[in-house]
Chains A and B, each alone.
Chain A
């Protein structure tokens, strides 16, 4: 079956701009996670959704970051006033039990 999909695969933006990153989880998976991975590091947790609600947003670095999942399926990660330090690969994962399956990621570059 289809895996987790993410769009765009690459996003280049200028400092101060607003970006939206989209994640389409595996069909039927109720849990959805966003992680961020910098070069040479493991993924770092950002936010976790169970259904439509954000069950844990403790990993969001500051209030410029926000995520939604209005219908319990597709999720959008939104970053306002982007900074160069936001440059990373943003990974989405979904699960129906314990095991999390990752999408291909969105590489964000802030110039």
Chain B
């Protein structure tokens, strides 16, 4: 079982719709969770982090965390073509600071 798993893509959504990305993790002691956006040929860019159960909103992005279910998600509201990218879920280890990444979900927003 992989440490961090993301729903397989690609995910295609029409402009203005909500894109929903899911991620599960295996380390029950993990406390810190991150979403990175990666455009093709570029490096990962941090867009959200969440440490507590519940929802965290930042502009059009909402991260949701459920530690009991070992589940974290990212919602992108009012999707724009510029949101087209690969989204990486990253989980910090319970006993260290290194990040374990999922393979990423590629999102395409259709104009």
Contact = CB atoms under 8 A, between A and B. Distances in A.
A48 B88 CA distance: 20
A33 B103 CA distance: 19
Nearest to B51: A98
Given A42-B103, A55-B97, 20 more contacts: A41-B103, A41-B104, A42-B88, A42-B102, A42-B104, A43-B44, A43-B88, A45-B99, A56-B96, A59-B98, A91-B44, A98-B32, A98-B51, A100-B34, A100-B46, A101-B46, A102-B36, A102-B45, A102-B46, A104-B42
A5 B47 CA distance: 19
Interface in A1-41: 31, 33, 35, 40-41
Q: Report whether over half of chain A's contact residues are helix, strand or loop; otherwise say mixed.
A: strand
Interface residues of A, number: 24
Interface of A: 31, 33, 35, 40-45, 48, 55-56, 59, 89, 91, 95, 98-105
A111 B99 CA distance: 30
Contacts of A41: 103-104
B101 A105 contact: no
A103 B102 contact: no
